[in-house]
């Protein structure tokens, strides 16, 4: 059985359901902003000679959208404890 190739985000990270991501909006009414969400599905769709990508993302408002370009997606990596501590310390410095 032939395995489908992995879909990669804009930085080359494999896309998998459950990952927190931001994606770039596109289309006629798009603002081009980055919208947060969680991947719910990742698959290739056979469409003639060219396979297409279909990535399902549940937005934070609960709506599921589907996009066709993995390069419009960026996986958010979890923040380490050290990074969270450093971010809080920097925020304290700028608040003074």
58 pLDDT band, cuts 50/70/90, is: very high
DSSP H helix total and E strand total for the chain: 1, 5
Q: Note the pTM of the prediction, 2 decimals.
A: 0.72
As beta bridge partners, residue 42 has 55
Is the pLDDT reported for residue 39 higher than 90?
yes
Which stretches of the chain are assigned E, i.e. beta strand?
Answer: 20-24, 34-45, 52-59, 64-67, 73-75
Kindly state the average pLDDT of the residues 18-36.
83
């Amino acid at each position: 059985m032939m395995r489908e190739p992995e879909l990669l985000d804009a930085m080359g990270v494999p896309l998998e359901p459950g990952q927190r991501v931001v994606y770039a909006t596109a289309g006629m009414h798009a603002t081009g902003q980055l919208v947060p969400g969680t991947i719910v599905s990742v698959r290739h769709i056979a469409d003639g000679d060219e396979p297409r990508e279909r990535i399902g993302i549940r937005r934070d408002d609960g709506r599921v959208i589907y996009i066709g370009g993995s390069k419009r997606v960026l996986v958010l990596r979890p923040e380490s404890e050290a990074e969270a501590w450093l971010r809080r310390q920097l925020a304290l410095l700028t608040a003074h």
